[in-house]
Structure 1
């Protein structure tokens, strides 16, 4: 996937990162931001942005989908590894080198429509079992808000399946994902807003600052020239504001 750099400056920045000749980008399945069909590459709003960022940088890379807990753990412990889309929370800030933002996400709590979960506020929601997936930032958010009954699954899809089978009462998800699921007829409904977050690429601290700068420069350009907005609209969503 080596492509000539767009500017001399970008070539120079990437060229200085001799240790970053190959990068692994780990991620989870989270349509429409990250998904993969039976054939073809990993796609989606976030994945397409990562691919566009790397087109201008002379570094080989690959993208792998895996459970989120493993994806973020690898990025923190394994050299030349980045994870996306990661929420830039205070707890994570110093643990990674960041390229921001791929997305701005409003996280909400949702319930299975017709399940009889009588909650309209976060305080009322604390009476119910809330599910999320391991090492997702919403796990920390729920803990900080002192939700007493948190059910942890391996992936977002497993948590959603539990919700639809009434094995849990509530779960968090981004407003964008909720809108897509709602359009597809998935029987969920919004209860309350949980948090707002900026999401981006979180890289192992061994990834050189030259590489991080080159990636951030390209992302900034994509935001300014409308490329990010075009990627959003290609997948049926309006870009963040």
Structure 2
């Protein structure tokens, strides 16, 4: 995939925080991706909405995940999304969530003879993911070693389709979009369910995080989050991924 660096800054009249909040993310449809020179996705749309409602000066920039994650870890006023919330990551950030609740699915090339219905079976195969991706944390927790790492999901997908790897983990919603887009993939097995959100640098003013969380809570209660999902042809965020194909 061609890496795109795309920035979008939007200013509002009465900011609650003088400094611009820099939201950073990666190309990872259907959550965050660029199309026709614009950023879109179920997470991007939510971030735009809650940042506006919180009265923030903000920007959204897309870049490789490893860089985005590192910026949020080390630079003030930076927040990274769509970020899986794990125990290992919990204390490293201030969190605004959930942008979505999802499950990981292990994907194989369509019609591949590879069979993996358990983690034990999958560990014996060639598995690939993205450098710094939450999926790598999950794989490591499950005892996977020698994971084939790529810069982004499109490269990992290319390796899967070409037979260079046997399996790749991704969110079930991303898998659904792959199928919708005609990618030659099919589900091998389900893995862990996770909550994904916005992870902000720990120096971010608490009032900023509080206002973002309140705006997201309202978004969920009023049904706007589910409407955003529906606008991308996805089921409501409240539906369990285990029931989705």
Q: TM-score, normalised by structure 2?
A: 0.90
Moved over 4 A (4+): none
- Please say if 1:35 is aligned against 2:44: no
CA deviation after TM superposition for structure 1 residue 118, in Å = 2.3
Partner SS, residue 135 of structure 1: coil
What is the rounded CA distance, in whole Å, between the counterparts of 2:111 and 2:235 in structure 1? 29
1:66 to 42, 52, 63: 63
CA deviation after TM superposition for structure 1 residue 51, in Å = 0.1
| Paired position in structure 2 for 1:155 | 152
| Paired position in structure 1 for 2:162 | 165
What is the rounded CA distance, in whole Å, between the counterparts of 2:141 and 2:56 in structure 1? 39
2:96 to 96, 99, 109: 99
Point out where structure 1 has 5 or more consecutive residues left out of the alignment.
5-10
Q: Please list, as runs of the form range in 1=range in 2, the aligned pairs for 1:132-211 lying within 5 A after superposition.
A: 132-211=129-208
Q: 1:148 to 1:58 in 2, by over 3 A?
A: closer
Q: TM-score, normalised by structure 1?
A: 0.91
Point out where structure 2 has 5 or more consecutive residues left out of the alignment.
1-9, 239-245
What is the rounded CA distance, in whole Å, between the counterparts of 2:209 and 2:11 in structure 1? 17
Contact 1:163 1:170 in 2 (8 A): yes
Contact 1:103 1:200 in 2 (8 A): yes
Contact 1:3 1:57 in 2 (8 A): no
What is the rounded CA distance, in whole Å, between the counterparts of 1:145 and 1:59 in structure 2? 39
1:213 to 210, 223, 237: 210
CA deviation after TM superposition for structure 1 residue 184, in Å = 2.2
Of the two, which has the highest radius of gyration?
A: 1
